[in-house]
Structure 1
Amino acid sequence: MPKKTAKLHSVVFFIYPGVKLLDLAGPLQVFNDATDQLSGAQTYRTALVSADGAEVATDTPVSVRSEPAAQWCNPIDTLVVVGGRGAQAASRNAVVVDTLKRLANRSHRIASICTGAFLLGAAGLLEGRRAVTHWRYCTDLARDHPETRVDTNPIFIRDGHIWTSAGVTAGIDLALALVQQDLGRDASLSIARDLVVFAVRSGGQDQFSTTLHSQVSDQSSRFDKLHAWMQENLHDDLSVEALSDRVGMSPRNFARQYQASTGSTPAKAVEAMRVEAARRYLEETDLTVVRVAEICGFRSDERMRKSFIRTLGVPPHDYRRQFQGEVSSTPHDEES
């Protein structure tokens, strides 16, 4: 007797002129690469739809074909609204917004990539919800949709059956999180490995990495190699004396040159890197606070507690509880 074919989970990408190609291609690739861990069978059926079904221009020379949204009469498992330069114009287009509303009414789960959140807002899907978009446009989203609680920090947010993400590559993180919800963590990690994704990032992580911020601040690139080494050796001695010795400078001259180049003292830069690393451990592992403090170079959990309070306003134990609470239950979770 032949095996019964499992129902494919439908993922519909809603696109419009001016979408960002990577906002579309990254998440699309994640879903197309997802297979059942036991049988190897495809688990998702993907489609690109637009209001009129025409060929859609992206922000690159590449255009993509789409299907007319009117053809989709069946329930949709996951609806993904892609971001891009054309998002705000599309959010003011009544035909596009009405089409999105009809698709959303048939969708079990809805997600936006980057500025796709503007279309969700225009369709009334973010009212009373917490959401995020690309950091450049968070202020605009909050202004256009004051009924939405816009959080500028996370790379993605789940509020009930609505998911929103920050810009560009955060769409891949969001797609991996959706796969994890559907198929489990092992399936998500397997796709990440195949795509050579450096790390599977949780939604609570900041859009800005401390190391990247240091690189942007240091316009001369003078301390790029030092920053990379610091990030990989947080448990080592990162005092001014040790760092100055590493770059072959006197402690006083190093401290002066470092602040002139980056706008921060070496001590503050080290603390920021250690706090960022500790946050990831608290978000993604069950390691004790004492162990996290040791790994990240704080030397004691009390020193880490003081750093957390100084930089984040909460101690590590409360941060972990707050973070876990945000991702596991939200005001609208009863809808999901």
Structure 2
Amino acid sequence: MSKLLLCCLLLAASTGWAFNHGQDLTDFHSYMDNFNKTYASTSASNFANYYFIYNRNQVAQHNAQADRNRSSFREAVNQFSDIRLIQFAALLPKAVSTVAAAASDPPTTQMAATAYDIIKDFGLTVAVEDQGVNCSSSWAYATAKAVEILNAVQTVNPTPASLSAQQLIDCAGMGTGCSTQSPLAALNYLTQMAESYLYPEVDYVNDNSLKTPGMCQPPSSVAVGVKLASYVSVADNDDDAIMRYVSNGFPVIVEYNPATFGFMQYSSGVYVQETRALTNAKSSQFLVIVGYDHDVDSNLDYWRCLNSFGETWGEDGYIRIVRRSNQPIAKNAVFPSALA
């Protein structure tokens, strides 16, 4: 059956035949308009058309389960709904640290509060970034955003300027900033090199159209950047430590496996990773944990995490992930701990 489907798909792509008509075709054209989609060829458009219908139907089926209280989260069509799940996973290759950690001793902290949210409790206005689909750069976006939030908290600035992830991709990525890099590269770059200030995005512009790192070109001396003094690593599976640090105003970066339909098309609610997740997929997405609480509707505890898929993904760019002792979120977790 799968061979027959593939043959039909290839035949349709080669002949330019549209996969759907009527409302399905109208929906696909609306999707293209809403997400500014263009395709290099009729064949590429037909493949996107086919997978859009498949993913849209998958979203509808999942949300029907959510309507029956059989799922704690909802999905929605988004910028990834015109590709296969395996393609989505391939866009986010497994991170591999190419540098040794140079973490500092943990800061002194108070006991964790029952619930906390750095963004909300400090009244911060933080822009949600979009890493795009050309460069697997969540390591850089997560690091830039974590430093930005820490700087906002410690300088009592509720409207911080967005800091440049592109600078980290270009200057700290060591040539692999779009493929396999981890936040350690960015944190070591910012703490070990005397002149490594992280500059505002207006002075070192993010460019998510690039498929490879650009040339490292820090702005002129007129620009004012943020200097990081230290960072701290968190042991894998130590969610209690993450809760304590977040409760004390430290945004924590964690590595997460994004290779599921639920994550790819997450829209709202408390995300619980499906058992049919692509557990063997070698994929990484770095998130910034900014809070935690309890959701009354689902009766689930959760982590609130900032992603870098833009505001049209998730809850205005954020995702709430279930917080359970048997599903720890602490994996390759690090956080900026002090400014210079």
TM-score, normalised to structure 2, is 0.26
Structure having greater relative contact order (Cα 8 Å, sep ≥ 6):
2
Which structure is larger by alpha-carbon Rg, 1 or 2?
Answer: 1
- The TM-score, its normalising length taken from structure 1, stands at 0.26
